Structure 1
Amino acid sequence: MKARRPLECVCFFSTYLPTKEERTYVFLSLDVFSDFVFNTGVETNDDVANIFKHIYLLTEHPNFKKYIDRGFMLVMDKHKELAPNINTIIEPLNGKLIFDGQYVNKIMTPVIKEVLRKLPNQ
């Protein structure tokens, strides 16, 4: 997928980060056009409630809202069973949802590597 404008393709992803205290998941999204990374936060799990929360936080991010007028496509790697609920969040904002795990992994792997590289040694 080649993006020709901001938000035409936004990959949404959560990943586990190693910590000394407890499991930690960081929620990230990447605008494929600009390579802008949206960090919507960190949680102790990536359950359904947190997935919905971070999709909502993404849509409320000032840099996301700036370009939302032309719509957007949210690409996720998993959670197809949540599609009806996710669509409830994004369709009123002219958002479309697709699932493509290979594409999300290809786009997000360099981002995750950079995040891990910047973490202090455990």
Structure 2
Amino acid sequence: MAWGTDILFTPAMTKHQGAILTTMTKWYSPAEVLSMATADNAELLALSGNRSPYQGKLGVIEQDALADILLVDGNPLENLDLIAEPDAHLVVIMKDGKIYKNTSEKTTY
């Protein structure tokens, strides 16, 4: 099972995607929800073969893989609602190897 929405076409809604994702805990555990939105979606995208816009391994954090990384202040496996408030709970946001937000005390990872 993978997760997706059409909010990409409504830019004002993108700031609510974490809150929308948390509604899935009505049916799934936080770990299952996070997997659907990350690794499972990557696996689904890989099935598109050459039509995928991403050339490289997705859905994992390992050398030479394409990864976006979020560092959460708290444990989203215990409280998925943390991702519903990204300004308050996302400490580091990294996309394509570039850090866009870092409010942690560490400066390198």
TM-score between the two structures when normalised by the length of structure 2? 0.28
TM-score between the two structures when normalised by the length of structure 1? 0.26
Higher relative contact order at CA 8 Å, sep ≥6: structure 1 or structure 2?
Answer: 1
